[in-house]
Chain A
Amino acid sequence: MLLIVCPYCGKRPEIEFTYGGQAHLARPVQPSQLDDQAWAEFLYMRANTKGIYAERWRHSRGCGRFFNALRDTTTDHFLAFYKTGEAQPALSGSGASPTPRESTT
């Protein structure tokens, strides 16, 4: 089970959270202006990154708020947690997974 750090409540077990998929997807401002391909891209295409992935979580059995996280999908280790609206944190180094494994997992 993942240990997830809610930016509002602190470290909690995964079962308190709901997964929200890829982060930083903005709904098109004028959907009627999109062609079918662009609309399909927005609706259905996800990065599905093998590596460091920015994703949303919701503390649905806690404070109820959405927030974002960076997770390495090859190890499931979290690299950062940040509030919705904040920019994706830059990782130290060149983007390789630098953060040591958390001892509690």
Chain B
Amino acid sequence: MSSQSFSGLSLFWRSLSSHRGWQTQWRKPEPKARYDAVIVGGGGHGLGAAYYLAKEHGLTNIAVLEKGWIGGGNTGRNTTIIRSNYLFDESAALYDHSLKLWENLSQALNYNVMFSPRGVMMLAHTVHDIQVFKRHVHANRCNGVDNEWLEPAEAKEFCPPLNIEGNIRYPVLGAALQRRGGTARHDAVAWGYARAADALGVDIIENCEVTGIRRDARGAVEALETTRGVIQSRKVGVSAAGHSSVIMALAGVHVPLESYPLQALVSEPVKPVFPCVVMSNTIHAYISQSDKGELVIGAGTDAYTSYTQRGALHINTHTLDAICELFPHFRRLRMLRNWGGIVDVTPDRSPIIAKTPVPGLYVNCGWGTGGFKATPGSAHVFAWTIARDEPHPINAPFTIERFRDGYLIDEAAAAAVAH
């Protein structure tokens, strides 16, 4: 695969033959009978974990099992927002670890993930929002994470389409801005990790659903039963997003997760009109503009647990009501399509990246509505946890046992989102 390294020169060279010479980006191998480690779930987190296992821990006889196709789950369904301005020390360390990896990810993977640190601005609409965001700003500064408070006029200067008039239902009273935050091309993240992992010898096996987890007399993981046969492995990392609790139940492990539909939608493509990312947690509106020109809009979760990858239209229209008040000149834009993904939500809205009570079984789940931003950092520490059978210091607090022991990392109460 290294012969297919991307550079300006290789693009020019291939253009001379009308770009016909490119090969597929990763192999389609048949599953082997035995691997040293298997990752369940071929999204960004799972592929990234396989890449870092191979790159940094020297494990190359590994496979990623994906029940559908690469990047067809939440990696390809999210609104691509990247930021790290979380309140608690544990969260700030994890998400900022990720943000630092994002900054050099294209170079590390030799694949343009189109990371664009265009700034993420979170709007405050109530006195409570102002207090919470200012607390975030101060906490972030203590942790070395950039975040600054903007008055409404400053927010409008940063994002000119924003309506800061006082006559709307939830007027803008200020904003918290993380300038290092931004977006990346979500598909490219999955493809880039898949290509880089494949080049290091990782087998990426699509259309392969895990249907059972075999354990030995000691209780340790021994093999996976899949729709493409039995695969032996002593180390299994589960990175299955909305289906994490289903997979973990196969090994008899109960995780505190509930799976909800989360919807997003895009508008018809228009010329560049929107310079940054704007989030409004209070009224559930998340908006940015893709390089294709579509406005990418995220809504809130539906009310009920479900595995259907679709949700109710009133959730989207509620978000569009908010968008139209905040950005009045988008009122006549037509929406192109909408979709849903299934997100696994923990009681404290922080993820679980940990060993489990079953020896050899590891889990990376509970990312809820905001897992994309954490992709590189999560994958990096998950690979460490699998390879060394102990957590990296960054993910050590993100255990399953924290719910038993009372060490919640309660970003839910910290108003990452109005629940």
Contacts and interface: CB of A to CB of B under 8 A. Distances in A.
Contact of A40 (B246, B303, B404): B404
A45 B256 contact: yes
A19 B260 CA distance: 12
B403 A40 contact: yes
Interface of B: 243, 245-246, 254, 256-259, 303-308, 310, 312-314, 347, 403-406
A99 interface: no
Contacts of B303: 14, 17-19
B400 to A, nearest CB: 10
A72 to B, nearest CB: 9
Most buried by A among B243, B246, B303, B314: B303
Nearest to A71: B304
Top 6 A-B pairs ranked by shortest CB distance? A44-B256, A19-B303, A40-B404, A1-B312, A48-B245, A44-B403
Given A48-B257, A73-B259, A73-B305, 4 more contacts: A1-B314, A19-B304, A46-B257, A71-B304
Contacts of B258: 21, 46, 48
A37 B404 contact: yes
A26 to B, nearest CB: 18
A76 B304 CA distance: 9
Given A1-B314, A2-B312, A36-B405, A44 B305 contact: no
B313 A1 contact: yes
B404 A36 contact: yes
Contacts of A50: 243, 246, 259, 307
30 contacts: A1-B313, A2-B312, A14-B303, A14-B314, A21-B258, A36-B404, A39-B404, A40-B256, A40-B403, A41-B254, A43-B347, A44-B256, A44-B347, A44-B403, A45-B256, A46-B256, A48-B246, A48-B259, A48-B305, A50-B246, A50-B259, A53-B305, A55-B304, A55-B305, A71-B304, A73-B306, A73-B307, A73-B308, A74-B307, A76-B308
B261 to A, nearest CB: 9
A18 B310 CA distance: 19
A92 B347 CA distance: 34
Interface of A: 1-2, 14-15, 17-19, 21, 36-37, 39-41, 43-46, 48, 50, 53, 55, 71, 73-76
B341 to A, nearest CB: 15
Nearest to A2: B312
A101 to B, nearest CB: 13
Contacts of B404: 36-37, 39-40
Nearest to A36: B404
Contacts of A39: 404
A39 B406 CA distance: 11
A103 B349 CA distance: 37
B304 A75 contact: no
A15 B305 CA distance: 16
B393 to A, nearest CB: 24
Nearest to A51: B307
B263 to A, nearest CB: 12
Contact of B254 (A21, A45, A71, A76): A45
Contacts of B259: 48, 50, 73
A44 B403 CA distance: 7
Nearest to A17: B303
A36 B405 CA distance: 7
B331 to A, nearest CB: 23
B308 A74 contact: yes
A34 B404 CA distance: 12
A44 B407 CA distance: 13
Contacts of A53: 305
A14 B307 contact: no
A1 B315 CA distance: 9
A39 B110 CA distance: 49
B390 to A, nearest CB: 22
A50 B243 CA distance: 9
A50 to B, nearest CB: 5
